Amino acid sequence: MRSRRAEVAAALAAANGAFVSGESIARRIGVSRTAVAKQVQGLRECGYRVESANRRGYRLVALPEETVPPEVERLVTDPFWNRFDGGVVTASTNDDCKRLARDGAPEGAVVVAAEQTAGRGRLGRQWISPRGGAYFSALLRPPVAPADAPPLALVCSLGIAAALEAAGAPVMLKWPNDVYLGWRKLGGVLLEMAAEADRVQWVVAGCGINVRRTPELAPEAASLDEVAPMRPAEVAAIALDGIAQAYREFVRAGFAGLVEQYERRHLLPGREVTVRDLAGGTVAHGEAMGVDGMGRLLVRTAEGPVPVVAGEVTLAPTGGER
Ligand code: BTN
């Protein structure tokens, strides 16, 4: 069920720029006019431009550009996503979502923000998060053992890639969790989890996608506006829908059911790679063969094929890529 705020946003958007009375919105969603006025104020604080006029009601003049909760909630179509928290600015949506997870929030809760002041990437890196990107974290409670959870990074990045591709952006994947545009990084997934010995309690999948080129973005990074003009809020919503679809398949059949879709977009097969662990030690070096049914990267080394569960991949240069 949508939140009141998203219901009011939907009612305003449905009027297509015409005035709509507070009373008709109130009737439509079953609340008082005062409650509608309060939600309209909340929407304005999130970046919706809403005019109000005596006896005419409210008129939506402009939607927010950024990934703010009511707008992402209004645009998401998959009912798997059932709760939207966050705000205009937060430190890290992953930290907020982990708090929800520990407080017992159900699977399908989402935290979104237009801007993060302490966004985090993999391997302890910073994730610079100015306005103009899509930043969100999704709470999952997969019915699997901890050893079977790592492919979820691939599942989420695949869901994002499939959704962006359907929206006209020819994006690719780099094992384990990166979304690429050409040979440049467009986005990534940070997976964090808590588990008991034989059961995952929760997984928080944090996703960052560069949507508009802003001065803070590294020159070697890609942004979606190079190929598709979309609002960050739209990008977050379609990415969430893509993740829900891929996640359902993972829960039904494991990663094996998604290998073919992943490989179709995978940049690494055939390339010479070095996979390193957190400490920088080499885990495997050789030709990347592709991923297996457990989401492991198979590397053809001098000693034979090695399945790699986790690590950071660097490519031997052949020109063009980074
Ligand atoms: C990577 O290193 O490629 C993963 C980047 C993940 C960034 C996202 S932005 C939303 C969520 N909140 C965070 O602090 N990090 C993730």
Residues 46 and 169 occupy one common structural domain: no
Give the orientation angle of helix 151-166 with respect to helix 232-253, to 10 degrees: 130
- Tell me: do 54 and 78 sit in the same domain: no
The token duo for 308 is 């790699």
Atom of ligand 1 nearest to the CA of 118: 14
Residue 322: predicted pLDDT: 46
Of 207, 220, 235, the one to substitute when testing ligand 1's pocket (max ligand atoms within 8 A of C-beta) is: 207
Shared-domain flag, residues 177 and 293: no
Cis peptide before 232 (omega within 30 of 0): no
Q: Do the domain assignments include residue 321?
A: no
175: CB partners within 8 A, 6+ apart: 154, 266, 268, 288, 291, 297, 313
Residues 137 and 260 in one domain: yes
Q: Which domain holds residue 292?
A: 272-315
Q: How far apart are CA 193 and CA 119, in angstroms?
A: 17
For residue 119, report the distance from its CA to the centre of ligand 1, in Å. Answer: 6
In a domain? residue 22: yes
Report the pLDDT value the prediction gives residue 57, as an integer from 0 to 100.
96
Domain boundary among 221, 238, 264: 264
Indicate whether 171 and 285 sit together in one domain.
Answer: no
Q: How remote is the CA of residue 144 from the centroid of ligand 1, in Å?
A: 23
Q: What are the pLDDT digits (tens) for 163-180?
A: 999 999 999 999 999 999
Look at the chain and report how many structural domains it folds into.
3
Pocket test for ligand 1, best of 89, 90, 129 (most atoms within 8 A of CB): 129
Name all residues whose Cβ lies below 6 A of ligand 1. 92-94, 116, 119-122, 125, 127, 129, 135-137, 177-178, 188-190, 206-208
Quote the pTM value: 0.95
CATH code assigned at 120: 3.30.930.10
- CA quadruple 42, 47, 53, 59: dihedral, nearest 10: -110
What is the position in ligand 1's atom list of the atom closest to the CA of 125?
Answer: 2
Largest CA-CA distance found in the chain, in angstroms, rounded? 79
- Same domain? For 84 and 173 the reply is yes
Residues of the chain with pLDDT under 50: 320, 322
Give the strand pairing for 178-181 and 171-174: antiparallel
Pairing relationship of beta strands 109-116 and 83-90 according to DSSP bridges: parallel
Task: Give yes or no: residues 203 and 77 share one domain.
Answer: yes
pLDDT recorded at residue 318: 66
What is the best residue among 126, 190, 211 to mutate for testing ligand 1's pocket, by most ligand atoms within 8 Å of CB?
190
Nearest CA to ligand 1 atom 9: 208
* 289 touches 279 (CB < 8 A): no
Nearest to 214 by CA among 129, 127, 137, 116: 129
In a shared domain, residues 286 and 152:
no
